[in-house]
């Protein structure tokens, strides 16, 4: 049942966004619980998008696991500039 916070939809949108922006195909099966946890903590797809854009802009290789684990750190770097 949809409760206003559809995790599957948000995870799928993040997956599509990441693949589209990087031109790669990231498997997310193993990271799905971590992504869902970040979303439950209050992070948004927009937060993930800002971090992905930041990493692309700085020509850094994107590891999905690092993106999820270090999302708050990336957002702090973005917001401090």
Residue pLDDT, tens place only, 20-50: 999 999 999 899 999 999 998 999 999 999 9
pTM score, two decimals? 0.89
Q: Which residue has the higher pLDDT, 60 or 7?
A: 60
Model pLDDT, residue 6:
86
Instruction: Give residue-wise pLDDT tens across range 59-81.
Output: 999 999 999 999 999 999 999 87
Sequence-distant (≥ 6) Cβ neighbours of residue 39 within 8 angstroms: 5, 7, 10, 11
Q: Phi-psi bin for 43: left (phi > 0), alpha (psi -120 to 50), beta? A: beta
């Amino acid at each position: 049942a949809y409760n206003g916070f559809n995790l599957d939809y948000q995870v799928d949108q993040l997956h599509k966004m990441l693949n589209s922006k990087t031109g790669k195909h990231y498997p997310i099966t193993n990271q799905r619980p971590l992504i869902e946890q970040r979303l439950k903590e209050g992070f948004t797809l927009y937060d993930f998008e800002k971090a992905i854009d930041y990493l692309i802009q700085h020509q850094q290789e994107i590891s999905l696991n690092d993106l999820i684990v270090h999302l708050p750190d990336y957002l702090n770097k973005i917001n401090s500039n």
